[in-house]
Structure 1
Amino acid sequence: MDDSDSDTQQETDDYYTFLNIARNATDDEINNAYRRLSRLYHPDKHTDLQRKKEAEILFSKTKKAYEVLSDPHMRAIYDNLGSKGLETQGWEIVQRTKTPHEIREEYERLAREREERRLQQRTNPKSSVTMTVNATELFNIYDEDSDYFDLRDLVGMPHIEISGMSLSQSIEAPLTNQDTAILSGNLSSHNGNGSGALSCSLRKVTSEKGWGELEVGAGNGLSLTAKGFRNFSRGVFGNCSVLTHFSPTGLRIGTVATIANQLDKHTVGYLTWKAGLQSGMNTMIIRDTTNLHLVASLYFGIPHTYAALSYTHKMPERESKLKLTGKAGTFGVMFEYGAEKKVSKNSSLAANLSIGIPTGVQLKLKLHRASQTYATTILLCEEIMPAPIIYGTVVPLVGWLAMHKLIITPYLRKQKQTELMKQREGNKARLTEMRRQAFAAIDLMRETVRRIVDQEEAKKGLVILSAWYGQLISEEAIDEEDSKAAETMMDVTIPLQCLVKDSKLILQESSKSGLPGFYDSCPGEDKSLRVRYLFHAVTHQVTIKDDESLRIPKQSHRLDT
């Protein structure tokens, strides 16, 4: 059994249900339940080698449940953290006088140590590819009387070129929970002119309220940057960075400082000041809720001053977003609208059309997948004209509909089917083993159940006529031994009769799949338990949900004859 299977098994272990006792059971109730199951499953009671082997497995599980619940220290760990908490490395050093709250704190401390060891084996790579395409000839109107001649006019092919491209990559290497090393680099080219830079930084978390970072970079000269973040009080925080750039033209120093205030649960206000390499001041308010994301900003600086407003409408049920942005200032005016759609668990597509003066009409496409971003900006026209606006709006929409129907939907459907098949295959082996254990337990119960039934019949007590557990279907299908009934239900008449004591049967408020002789035949699905029984020679019947408690006999279960 691999690690994932063992984890699943640990998560499904419910010692209280296995012993059929309440979570607040007393020591006497735990001891009585243990003795009852021990007599049933003790290996020395069986001479057949196969039955003896099955009894050893169930007796071991009974003993484990008793050891945990009878020990106050281990029971506190189990109640707080489940069976997985009992396996945490380092529990041997925990004082047995600790309270449940202290136990949880100790578990979290040990978990942090494990996480710190795992961090040293992880990196967090991020990359982005950005491309700029000049496609203005698609919508240029040529003067037919012009003496200008181009061979492309004969074949009707407009000239489209990639005018710029940039690549960036970064890798984070956590050294400890407080220290992270970051290596990043970028290359860019625009209209034949290229540049690049490489930087390395070390970030250290100094306390719960702040961190500091030192970065060394090389590109067009050497650069040194110091950054810091500080949480001053509840809802008030800020950061600051100082850049020193040693370029061929001389030493340049720049500073950026930001102070932020949490105005309410969903709104944050920012004030940013820049000096040196750039000079200016920006104030910004961001409001983010389940259904909207609103950003309003005002910037005063050199060479431009502007005001901007951006509104994003979120549609979580459709995994989509609609965005509107307006910006106006000394540079001109810009209006942008677009949409973003999540196409898979880790991927999303976005398309935005930008209309502005003097920027013209631009179509922006972006694909974000996990930690990778691919962005393309297509310059459709340097002037504002109806044709590029219409095409820039309609073509991405039609393209998305076609791609969604022809590529994305079939791919996601196939991926889902593949994952479902893998899940079924993975569960198949586990369910087969659980089913085998359940029927082995039932086989070990038969002799005991015969004695219980004889005793109950002699005093006209409680006799279980039939009991079915799982996704219940019609009684006719059960009587006809329908194949579907065999897959989604199991006969638990013997396990329930085995739990009868003094003409009473009590089941606790938990999933019945943890009871001896039971198993979950349909994980993740709603299940029920249907019981038909005799009491005082009168037939009774009751059906309950999987996690409901049950006490029988009851007068309300009586069937009218």
Structure 2
Amino acid sequence: MAGRATSPNSRRARPTAEDGDQRLPREMIAEDLNDDEVFFLDEDDFHTVFQDDYYARLNVDHNASQEEIRNSYRRLSRLLHPDKHTEPWKKSLAENAFNSINAAYEVLRDPYRKSLYDACGASGTVSDLWQVVPVDPANRKTLDELKEEREKRKEKESTNPHNEMSMGLDVTDLFERRNRDTKDYGIQNYIPHVEITTLSTVQSIEAPWPQVDRFQLFSNVNYERGTGGGMFGVEMNKTLSETVTGDFKVMTGPSRGLVAHLKLNKRLDAGKYISLSAFSAFSRFGMMPLMEIAYGSNLGKLGNGRVIVRGTTRVVNVVTRIDKDFKDSRFSVTSEMSPDDVVLGITYSRKLPLAHEPKLSIGLKTGFRGVTLEYGVSRRVSKYNQLAASMALALPGGVTLRITFQRSNQAFSFPILLSHDILPAPVFYGTVTPLLLYACVKSIYFIPQWKAYVTERLRSKRNSYRSGLEEKRKEYENFLKLMIDKYEDLINSEGLSNGLVIDRAVYGRFDDFQPTMDTIDVHVQLQCLVRNHQLDLPALSKTDLPGFYDPCISERKRLQIHYIFGGKHHLVQVMDDEALHLPSPEHLVVG
């Protein structure tokens, strides 16, 4: 009885879209991803699906050390270097094969380029102007197009734009229906009244300016129940010494004078800092000064503490805060004292051990003027987007639901006043409705649409790869021509010492553990990888091993090997991305 093949269910976990050092498998389809993973793919992920795997090309694992990478490269160089072959035609074939492994080694030997490759694939290791382009000539980008794309990215990076928008809604009519005369209002009596109470936008961009570290232009526009205003200003940051930085801000707007703000920050020893701020507002009523002093320190096991004292000639406020960070959570205690109120608050937030790190938070503030309880949840919903929802129960103040959507430097916030008093209905519906609505819209619309999009993008990439398949097949045949004589020497050497001899090896699509027509013979390639009577293959797709190619794009592939070790026959079959070590007693053919 032959040694059984490894079950497909026992293979290692398939890489996900968020794995930093993994790329999407070539045979992956949208159904392989769970419902959330389809939202975490971007163009870089699709771009790297069919790029060559430099680790597999050198037959090393993604976690291989520099010494392991160097040793593997040297072993392959001894086989493939053109100087190891005398016939001119073999030298030509060897040069192509050696250039392939040398290109992989030049990237993986350099820690910086290696990190770029791990993050972005082969295109991340070269200049934007000479990036790897698809095999399909129709999709190639001209040099001018690449230059234009690079300039746009540089422009966006240099300006670093930030935008925030907040729109407040009053939907209290849903839960606090006012008595209306049906005769006067007609059908509108049955339609809840929704009012936009506030609207504000804040935006800023950075611009180069000599002799300062950062120069920023910013503005804001706000509206609240029929009245509005706005402001425009500039901000400059400058490093004055190794421990001192300065910040200067000037702003003005309609119906207000000039406002100037100067802030100095000094970093002290042992995690301490102190800052001094001075505000001056100039108007027709004169100058209004405001001073602020802040002191922060590391309190050891208690966490980090901060004290802020701010005030004018007539009013002084004191704010204190202590933050304690744990492994997956944070606990904060705050206090704010002013002449007419004292507010104490506690906040606790925790990241849940689930995919995409959803975070729960709860906080309580209490003072002479009222109490506020706030709780909420936030979660990454795609690679660059985050969605948050929170409920605030204030007495006085009522029930407010806040929904926030953030993408990179863009944020959109919607505070929705549900009721002026704390009532059971708005509390229940404000808590449950956003969760149910998100789950329904996501499952009914977004997931099917995104899976269809992912399927189409993968199909497009596979079609581009197929156009270059003939070249891959030719490289495979050239490798066999180049190494056939070396293969005979290797098996004779291994056979004389009862070592490891690869008798048969097939790679491709199998049907019930039986090879189909969509397979290739790879026993020569694997024998060339044997070292010290052993063969080790990393947990990577075998497609990019020296002398391999993909014989069945988009299909599940396996590798079946029949080998002789110690004069005994062995048989093993593994999935494409499963690690393998030969010899092993588990592979022994019995009977």
Give the TM-score, by structure 1 length.
Answer: 0.71
Map of 2:563 onto structure 1: 533
Is structure 2 residue 400 aligned with structure 1 residue 362?
A: yes
Deviation at 1:211, TM superposition (A): 3.4
Aligned to 1:166: 200
Report the CA distance between 1:299 and its aligned residue: 0.6
Q: How far has the Cα of 1:280 moved from its partner?
A: 0.5
**2:243–2:268: 8 Å Cα contact kept in structure 1?**
yes
1:296 equivalent in structure 2: 333
Post-superposition CA distance 1:105-132 (Å, at most 9, x none): xxxxxxxxxxxx9699533222111122
Counterpart selection for 2:213 from 174, 179, 183 = 179
SS of equivalent to 2:334: strand
2:80 is equivalent to residue 37 of structure 1 = yes
Secondary structure of the residue aligned to 2:214 is strand
Q: Distance in 1 between the 2:390 and 2:281 partners?
A: 35
Whole-Å Cα distance in 2 between the matches of residues 182 and 549 of structure 1? Answer: 56
Residue 152 in structure 1 maps to residue 172 in structure 2: no
Unaligned runs of at least 5 residues, structure 1: 69-73, 90-116
CA contact (8 A) 1:295 1:309 kept: yes
Give CA-to-partner distance per residue, 1:159-189, whole Å, 9 cap, x none.
4322221111112347799822221110011
CA contact (8 A) 2:260 2:280 kept: yes
* Aligned positions of 1:133-152 closer than 5 A: 133-140=169-176, 142=178, 151-152=184-185
Measure how far apart 1:283 and its partner are: 1.0
* Identity rate, percent: 27
Q: CA deviation at 1:308?
A: 1.5
User: Does residue 88 of structure 2 align to residue 58 of structure 1?
Assistant: no
1:465 aligns with 2:503: yes
**C-alpha distance in 1, partners of 2:399/2:499?**
86
CA distance in 2, matches of 1:29, 1:416: 36
Q: In structure 1, what is the equivalent of residue 25 of structure 2?
A: none
| Rounded Cα–Cα distance in structure 1 between residues aligned with 2:269 and 2:155 | 29
1:491 equivalent in structure 2: 521
Against the structure 1 CA distance between its residues 344 and 14, is the aligned structure 2 distance closer, same or farther, given a 3 Å change threshold? closer
Q: Which letter maps to 2:218?
A: S
- TM-score, normalization: structure 2? 0.68
Q: Secondary structure at the match of 2:159?
A: coil
Look up the equivalent residue of 2:382 and give its one-letter code.
Answer: S
2:297 aligned with 1:255, yes or no?
A: no
Q: What residue is the counterpart of 2:351 in the other structure?
A: 314
C-alpha distance in structure 1 between counterparts of 2:510 and 2:429, whole Å: 57
Q: Structure 2: how far apart are the matches of 1:28 and 1:394?
A: 59
Match of 2:366 among 321, 324, 328: 328
Q: Once the 2 structures are TM-superposed, how far is the Cα of residue 288 of structure 1 from its aligned partner?
A: 3.6
Paired letter, 1:493: H
The CA distance in 1 between the partners of 2:556 and 2:324, in whole Å, is 40
8 Å Cα contact 2:169/2:196 also seen in 1: yes
Alignment partners' CA distance in 2, 1:326 and 1:253: 33
Shift in Å at residue 259 of structure 1?
2.1
Amino acid in the other structure paired with 1:358: P
Q: CA deviation at 1:466?
A: 0.8
Distance 1:453 1:10, change over 3 A: closer
Tell me which amino acid in the other structure corresponds to 1:186: N
Aligned to 1:98: none
TM-superposition CA deviations, 1:263-310 (whole Å, max 9, x none): 358932221111229631111122344543332211101443211222
CA distance 1:253–1:85, change in 2 (3 Å): same
123-132 or 431-440, larger mean C-alpha shift:
431-440
Distance 1:29 1:349 in 2: 46
Aligned to 1:93: none
Give the Cα separation in 2 of the matches to 1:514 and 1:78.
18
User: Which of the residues 476, 479, 487 maps onto 1:441?
Assistant: 479
Cα distance change on mapping 1:328 and 1:463 into 2, 3 Å: closer
Match of 2:389 among 310, 335, 351: 351
Instruction: Flag the 1:521–1:179 CA change in 2: closer, same or farther, 3 A.
Output: farther
- Residue 261 (structure 2) pairs with residue 225 (structure 1): yes
CA displacement 1:362-418 (0-9 Å, x = unmatched):
232222233222222233333334444344344434433433333343344345445
Corresponding position: 1:283 with 2:320: yes
Separation in structure 2 between the aligned mates of residue 365 and residue 63 of structure 1, nearest angstrom: 53
Structure 2 CA distance for partners of 1:303 and 1:473, relative to 1, 3 Å: farther
Tell whether 2:223 aligns with 1:189. yes
| Equivalent residue number for residue 268 of structure 1 | 304
Change (3 A) 1:308 1:32: closer
Deviation at 1:332, TM superposition (A): 1.8
Moved more, 270-279 or 31-40: 31-40
- The alpha carbon displacement at 1:62 in A equals 6.7
The equivalent residue for 2:342 is 305
Cα separation, 2, equivalents of 1:28 and 1:326: 60
Q: Distance in 2 between matches of 1:287 and 1:88?
A: 43
**CA shift for structure 1 position 88:** 8.9
Q: Secondary structure at the match of 2:341?
A: coil
CA distance in 1: counterparts of 2:467 and 2:495, whole angstroms: 40
Instruction: State the alpha-carbon separation in 1 of the partners of residues 439 and 566 from structure 2.
Output: 68
Tell me if structure 2 keeps the 8 A contact 1:472–1:527: yes
Match of residue 78 from structure 1: 109
Q: CA separation in 2, counterparts of 1:394 and 1:251?
A: 50
CA contact (8 A) 2:331 2:347 kept: yes
The aligned amino acid for 1:296 is V
Which amino acid in structure 2 is aligned with residue 261 of structure 1?
Answer: S
**Residue aligned with 1:442, SS:** helix
Q: Distance between the aligned counterparts of 1:551 and 1:398, measured in 2? A: 52
Give 1:34 deviation, angstroms: 4.3
